Structure 1
Amino acid sequence: MHITRALRVAAAVVAVGAAAALAGCSSSSGSAEPGKKGDLTTVKVATIGLTSDGSLLTGMAKGFFADEGLTIETSIVANPPAGLAAAQSGQVDIAYSPSIPLLNALSQGVKMKVVAPADGYPDAATSASDPASFDDTGLFASVSSGITSVKELAGKTIAVPARKAQLEVVIADQLKKNGIDPATGVKWVVLDFTSAVAALKSGNVDAAGLVSPFTAQALSAGNPQLAAPSIGFFETGATGLWTTGDATATSKKDVVSAFQRAIAKSNEYATAHPEEAIKAGLAYTKSTLAVDQVKVPVWPATVTDQDLQRPDDKMVDLGFLKKPVDLSGVILTK
Structure 2
Amino acid sequence: MRRRRLAELAIAVVTVTTAAACGTSTPASPGSDASGSAGTQTTHVKVGIIPIVDVAPLYLGEKKGFFRNQGIELTMESAQGGAAIVPGVVSGQFQFGFSNVTSLMIAQGKGVPVEAVVNGATSTSKVGADVTGVTVRKASSVKSAKDLAGKTVAVNTLQNIGDTTLRESVRKDGGDASKVQFVEMPFDQMPAALDGGQVDAAWMAEPFLTIAKSQGGRVVASPFAETAPNLTIAAYFTSTKLATQNPGLIKNFTEAMTKSLTYADQHPDEVRQVLSTYTKIPSQLTNSLTLPRWPATINLRSVKVLASLGEKDGIFGGKKPDLEALFR
Query: Fold-level match, TM-score > 0.5?
Result: yes
Residue-pair matches, total: 304
- The equivalent of 1:170 in structure 2 is 165
What amino acid maps onto 1:301 in structure 2? Answer: A
Matches within 5 A, 1:38-187: 38-121=40-123, 125=125, 130-133=126-129, 135-183=130-178, 185-187=179-181
Q: Which residue of structure 2 lines up, in the alignment, with residue 203 of structure 1?
A: 197
Checking the alignment, whether the CA contact within 8 Å between 2:160 and 2:315 is kept in structure 1 is: no
Deviation digits for residues 128-182 of structure 1, max 9, x if unmatched? xx5232x111111233432222222222211222221232222122223234443
Quote the offset at 1:74 in angstroms.
0.8
Q: Deviations over 1:48-98 (max 9, x none)?
A: 112232211121122111111111111111112211121122210000011
Amino acid at match of 2:128: A
Task: List runs of 5+ in structure 2 lacking aligned partners.
Answer: 1-20
Moved more, 31-40 or 228-237: 31-40
Stretch deviating more after TM superposition (284-293 or 251-260): 284-293
Cα 1:81/1:311, change in 2 over 3 Å = same
Q: 1:265 aligns with which of 259, 273, 277?
A: 259
Paired letter, 2:145 = V
Q: Deviations over 1:229-252 (max 9, x none)?
A: 122224315322010011111122
Alignment of 1:308-323 (within 5 A): 308-321=303-316, 322-323=318-319
- The change in CA–CA distance for 1:193 and 1:264 in structure 2 (over 3 A counts) is closer
Deviation sequence 1:18-41 (CA, Å, 0-9, x none): xxx99x978333862113861210
Matches of 1:61 and 1:193 in 2, distance apart?
28
Look up the equivalent residue of 1:154 and give its one-letter code. Answer: A
Match of 1:280 among 274, 288, 306: 274
Using a 3 Å threshold, how does the CA distance of structure 1 residues 233 and 81 change in structure 2: closer, same or farther?
A: farther
CA–CA distance in structure 2, aligned partners of residues 174 and 221 of structure 1: 24
Please tell me whether the aligned partners of residues 313 and 324 of structure 1 are also in contact (alpha carbons under 8 angstroms).
no
Report SS of the residue matched to 1:215.
helix
Residue of structure 2 equivalent to 1:252: 246
TM-score normalised per structure 1: 0.82
- Structure 1 residue runs of 5 or longer lacking an equivalent are 1-20
Q: TM-score with structure 2 length normalisation?
A: 0.84
What root-mean-square deviation, in Å, do the aligned CA atoms of Structure 1 and Structure 2 show?
Answer: 2.5
Q: Aligned equivalents of 1:263 and 1:219: distance in 2? A: 32
Report if the CA contact (8 A) 2:117-2:250 is conserved.
Answer: yes
Cα pair 2:105 2:326 within 8 Å, conserved = no
1:298 correspondence with 2:293: yes
Percent identity for Structure 1 against Structure 2 = 27
CA distance in 2, matches of 1:305, 1:150: 26
